[in-house]
Copies of this chain bind each other. A is one copy, B any other.
Amino acid sequence: MELRIDWTRVERCRTLASAIVEPVEEFIAAHSTVSVERAALRLLGVDGVTADEVPAPNAIVDSLSETGLQSGVALAFGKALAETGLDPAALGEALALGRYALEDFSQTPEQAARGALRPHVEAALTRIRAQREDRAARMARLPQLPPPLLYVIVASGNIYEDRTAAVASAEAGAQVIAVIRSTGQSLLDFVPFGPTTEGFGGTYATQANFRIMRGALDEISEKLGRYVMLTNYASGLCMPEIAVMAALERLDMLLNDSMYGILFRDINMKRTFVDQHFSRMLNAYSGIIINTGEDNYLTTADAVEQAPAVLASQFINEEFAHRAGLPDAQIGLGDAYEINPDIEDSFLNQLAQAQLARQIFPNAPLKYMPPTKHMTGDIFKGHLIDAMFNLTSVMTGQNIHLCGMLTEATHTPFLGDRALSLENARYIMNTARHLGEEITIKPGGAIEGRAAEVLEGCEQLMERVAAMGLMNAIDAALFADVSRAPEGGRGYEGVFARAADYFNPFEDALRSAVAPVAS
């Protein structure tokens, strides 16, 4: 059911995306953030918390002077490594407990620091590569069900209940499990520590929680004979650190959007741009598929009106991702089924939009988000809206399919809700498996017309954004009707200009390992 598309417009949009992203990339190259630095420490093996429950990476980065920070924490930490002869984990603990201070070692020559770091950097990258290879081996051995990948969320607030839920979902047909974070975590400028059992509307993303979940899913994957993927959320104030944890614990996907935090969490844009870049380089190296958050445009604003903005955001996310070295196969661009279900022919518009994304991004594993905004307590109607979403997905060949819940308006999913939801997806996708291949879209009809309209609107929007620059465009509320100032929002204090001697061994290593992709 191919649409005829004006490909010159598509090319123009890609050119515009590059023009839009280029200046931001220059800013990124000249800056770092506290979270990038903490991520470097985590990669080296620093973990744990202080007596006051402050995570060691935070304690250490916060202990740096401003100039110390501007050179990158790796340098100071490397010096201490060289002097103390401790391994990074032990050193991190000692620093966190205040047994040493980084400034004690400021006189150590840079070369010694680099030398001391080298084996640990290598070790970290080796660990990540090992996880990547392990994943590849498991996926080859434990093949997945026919596409799309059915994706469900667990969100009880308690990692152990989540584990039960995840295993049950996998048995019921889920191919991807996402552990939704507690409200507020994305605004924390640190990553909580250890297994957690208390969250609201979700469960904290901690490395221990990642590990518990990965262990359970590995076990059930073996039992089921198919690899079940795990995902979590990076976007927020700690994108780089969560990317590290995900790499180490073999998550398979990660929510990672170049603008989500800015628009939807009022996180400073400069902070977000720098953070997303580093975290995406890591994602690229880890073989993790990112999931972008275009669905969020549609939860507050009207889905018909916002369709061009969604497409524009997909182009921009793609460009940022390419620049961070992510190949198409790892760019899970988002879209959502959020048009008011009571509009006549709304299904046709949904089809148009989904198929348009499919054709414009043929190699991206598109991530399709379910209806949420128009879901109500009428679970019976909700189940039907989900069915039409499932139908659209299978007709247009989406890849990552977040299953809608009939109880969307009521509570984070119950175990039984997830079973019904998976059954919904399986039934619809099976009964209409090859429908998309057996029909053609009427040339010049309503569906093609809608697709053309969206593409045209997208191009116009991107022209405006390119003309004023991305940061000013966001300031001017060109995305999601939200205005964010370049210096406003949370976490701006954590952004800093790199000194001339700024040093981040991981960035260097990743840059040579994951080359930017030409869009």
Binding site for B on A (CB under 8 A): 1, 341-348, 380-381, 383-385, 387-388, 391, 406, 420, 423-424, 427-428, 430-435, 437-442, 445-447
A346 to B429, CA, bound (A): 11
Contact of A441 among B348, B431, B438 (CB under 8 A): B438
Chain B residues within an 8 Å CB radius of A383: 380, 383-384
Known: A388-B428, A391-B391, A434-B446. 12 other contacts (CB 8 A): A342-B430, A345-B434, A346-B431, A347-B435, A381-B424, A388-B431, A388-B432, A437-B445, A438-B447, A439-B439, A439-B440, A439-B447
A141 to nearest B CB, angstroms? 26
- Interface pair A384/B442, CB less than 8 Å apart: no
Contact A437 B442 (CB under 8 A): yes
Give 15 CB contacts A-B under 8 Å: A344-B430, A345-B432, A345-B435, A347-B435, A380-B424, A384-B387, A384-B427, A385-B427, A388-B428, A391-B391, A437-B445, A438-B442, A439-B440, A439-B441, A440-B442
Measured between beta carbons, the chain B residues less than 8 angstroms from A424 are 380-381, 384
| Interface contact A380-B420, CB-CB below 8 Å | yes
Q: How close is A302's CB to chain B, nearest CB, in angstroms?
A: 16
CA distance A441 to B385 in the complex (A): 25
Q: State A432–B341 Cα separation when bound (angstroms).
A: 10
CB-defined contacts of A391 to chain B, threshold 8 Å: 391
Q: Chain B residue with minimal CB distance to A445?
A: B438
A380, closest chain B residue (CB): B420
6 closest pairs, A vs B, by CB? A347-B431, A347-B432, A439-B439, A438-B445, A346-B431, A380-B420
Complex alpha-carbon distance, A120 and B507, angstroms: 102
**Contacts A383-B384, A384-B387, A420-B380 given; does A344 touch B431 at CB 8 Å:** yes
Which residue of chain B is the closest to A426 with respect to CB atoms? B342
Contacts A342-B427, A380-B420 known; A446 to B442 CB distance under 8 Å?
no
Whether B446 contacts A438 by the Cβ 8 Å rule is yes
Residues in B whose Cβ lies below 8 Å from that of A427: 341-342, 381, 384-385
Residues of B within 8 A of A423 (CB): 380-381
Q: Are A348 and B438 in contact, CB atoms less than 8 angstroms apart?
A: yes
For A381, the chain B residues whose CB sits under 8 A away are: 420, 423-424, 427
Residue pair A348, B435 in contact (C-beta under 8 Å): yes
Q: Is the pair A434, B348 in contact by a Cβ cutoff of 8 Å?
A: yes
Give A344 to B429 CA distance when docked, in angstroms.
9
Which residues of B have CB within 8 Å of A445? 437-438
Chain B residues closer than 8 Å to A384, beta-carbon distance: 383-384, 387, 424, 427-428
Query: How far does the Cβ of A152 sit from chain B's closest Cβ, in whole Å?
Result: 16
Residue of B nearest to A419 (CB): B380
Given A438-B442, A447-B438, also A341-B388 (CB < 8 A) = no
| A436 shortest CB reach to chain B, Å | 10
Given A438-B446, A439-B441: A431 and B387 within 8 A (CB)?
no
Interface centre among A346, A431, A439 (most CB of B within 10 A): A431
Bound CA–CA A341/B384 (angstroms): 16
| Residues of B contacting A406 in the complex (Cβ-Cβ under 8 angstroms) | 380
Give bound CA distance, A437 to B442, whole Å. Answer: 8
Contacting pair A345 B433 (CB below 8 A): yes
Q: Closest residue to A432 on the B side, CB-wise?
A: B347
In the bound complex, CA of A510 to CA of B433 (Å): 52
- A206 to B243, alpha carbons, bound, how many Å? 74
A404 CB to nearest B CB, Å? 12
Q: Which residue of B lies closest to A385 (CB)?
A: B427
A513 to chain B, nearest CB (A): 43
Q: Which residue of B lies closest to A379 (CB)?
A: B380
Chain B: minimal CB distance from A146 (Å): 10
Whole-angstrom distance from the CB of A324 to the nearest CB of chain B? Answer: 39
Q: Tell me the nearest residue of chain B to A442, going by C-beta.
A: B438
Taking CB atoms, residues of chain B closer than 8 Å to A432 are 345, 347-348, 388
Interchain CB contact (< 8 A) of A431 among B341, B438, B442:
B341
Q: Nearest Cβ in chain B — how far from A509, in angstroms?
A: 47
Tell which of B1, B431, B433 touches A439, judged by Cβ atoms closer than 8 Å. Answer: B1
Bound-state Cα–Cα, A445 to B437, Å: 9
A380 proximity list for chain B (CB < 8 A): 383, 406, 420, 423-424
Least CB separation from A431: chain B residue? B347
Residues of B within 8 A of A385 (CB): 427
Task: Tell me the complex Cα distance, A14–B346, Å.
Answer: 40
Q: Which residue of B lies closest to A341 (CB)?
A: B431
- Complex alpha-carbon distance, A439 and B440, angstroms: 6
CB neighbours of A430 from chain B (8 A): 342, 344
**Alpha-carbon distance between A384 and B348 when the two chains are bound, in angstroms:** 19
Expressed in whole angstroms, the Cα–Cα distance for A240 and B120 within the complex equals 94
